């Protein structure tokens, strides 16, 4: 389990990524999500997982969307 301060920092970073990578309210294919996230960090799989786990993004049939 993440330390509370670390969890708060991660939440701030994830909100930043959400606002930069999921600007439009539409479904985003995984390839596009990967390309957008890769601008910020090479571990796009972890970033996708954190965004979904924190409830900021939904994933259905390989498509991602702002929650």
Diameter over CA atoms, the chain: 34
Residues above pLDDT 70, as percent of the chain: 97
- For the stretch 22-51, pLDDT in tens is 999 999 999 999 999 999 999 999 999 999
pLDDT band for 5, please (50, 70, 90 cuts): confident
- 2 pLDDT band (50/70/90 cuts)? low
pTM of the model: 0.89
Average pLDDT, the chain: 94
Give the pLDDT confidence score for residue 4 in this predicted structure: 79
Half-sphere exposure for 61 (CA within 13 Å, toward CB): 1
Three-state SS annotation for 37-60? HHCCCCCHHHHHHHHHHCCCEEEE
What token pair was written down for 39? Answer: 């601008």
């Amino acid at each position: 389990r993440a330390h509370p301060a670390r969890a708060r920092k991660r939440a701030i970073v994830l909100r930043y990524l959400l606002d930069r990578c999921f600007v439009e309210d539409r479904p985003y294919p995984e390839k596009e999500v990967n390309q957008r996230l890769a601008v910020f960090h090479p571990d796009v799989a972890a970033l996708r997982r954190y965004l979904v786990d924190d409830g900021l993004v939904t994933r259905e049939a390989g498509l991602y969307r702002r929650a």
